[in-house]
């Protein structure tokens, strides 16, 4: 039996992601890496609950460097309404769009890798902050922003914030995701 030899360049072109997709995250300084985490529940467009694949511990994860509209009327929805001048019922509709998009990327049962910066581990509500690496090697945080379903936010500082701001600008310019309907959310 004969096989067709594939050169390294061809293999790289045929793969679903480039090594650099996740390389940039794993090469960051002062990080903690958690593997074998499973999506237990997606809460909204910027947070989810994960559990250990081989354990019983569950925890809430807040994604670094981004913010998505809320999925119900809350104090934050009203604050966002005041800042953006978008009615809260519309913000909730956008929040549900963001949630739906997130569910397509990380349905319940998806195995994830979490990367947490040692200097910024938790948010105000003691939720763990993380970059979420998908099974295909892409970063969930980036995917939400570059597809227009979340915006870059400095509320939870992260090392990748300048990159996220650039991705948000591109999504706005291309009218992707929520930016198809509105310029600010």
Q: What angle do CA 55, 60, 61 make, to 5 degrees?
A: 105
End-to-end C-alpha distance for the chain, whole angstroms: 58
**Predicted TM-score (pTM) of this structure:** 0.86
Half-sphere exposure of 93 (CA within 13 A, CB side): 9
pLDDT digits (tens, 9 = 90+) for 106-161: 999 999 999 999 999 999 999 999 999 999 999 999 999 999 999 999 987 799 99
Which tokens in the block code for residue 31? 């990080």
pLDDT digits (tens, 9 = 90+) for 19-59: 455 568 999 999 999 999 999 999 999 999 999 999 999 99
Residue 23, Ramachandran bin (φ over 0: left; ψ between -120 and 50: alpha; else beta):
alpha
**Domains (range + CATH), the chain:** 24-180 (2.40.50.90)
Contact 144, 46 (CB under 8 A): yes
């Amino acid at each position: 039996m004969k096989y067709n030899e594939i050169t390294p360049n061809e293999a790289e072109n045929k793969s679903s992601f480039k090594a650099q997709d996740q390389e940039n995250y794993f090469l960051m300084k002062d990080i903690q890496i958690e593997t074998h985490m499973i999506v237990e529940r997606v809460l909204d467009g910027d947070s989810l609950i994960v559990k250990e694949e081989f354990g019983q511990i569950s925890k809430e994860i807040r994604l670094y460097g981004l913010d998505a509209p809320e999925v119900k009327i809350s104090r934050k929805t009203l604050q966002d309404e005041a800042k953006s001048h978008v009615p809260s019922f519309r913000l909730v509709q956008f929040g549900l769009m963001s949630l739906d998009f997130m569910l397509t990327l990380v349905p319940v049962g998806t195995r994830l890798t979490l990367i947490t910066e040692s200097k910024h581990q938790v948010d105000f509500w003691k939720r763990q902050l993380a970059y979420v690496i998908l099974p295909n090697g892409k970063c969930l945080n980036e995917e939400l922003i570059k597809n227009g379903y979340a915006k870059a936010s400095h509320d939870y500082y992260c090392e990748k914030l300048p990159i996220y701001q650039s991705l948000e600008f591109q999504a706005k310019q291309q009218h992707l995701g929520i930016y198809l309907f509105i310029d600010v959310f």
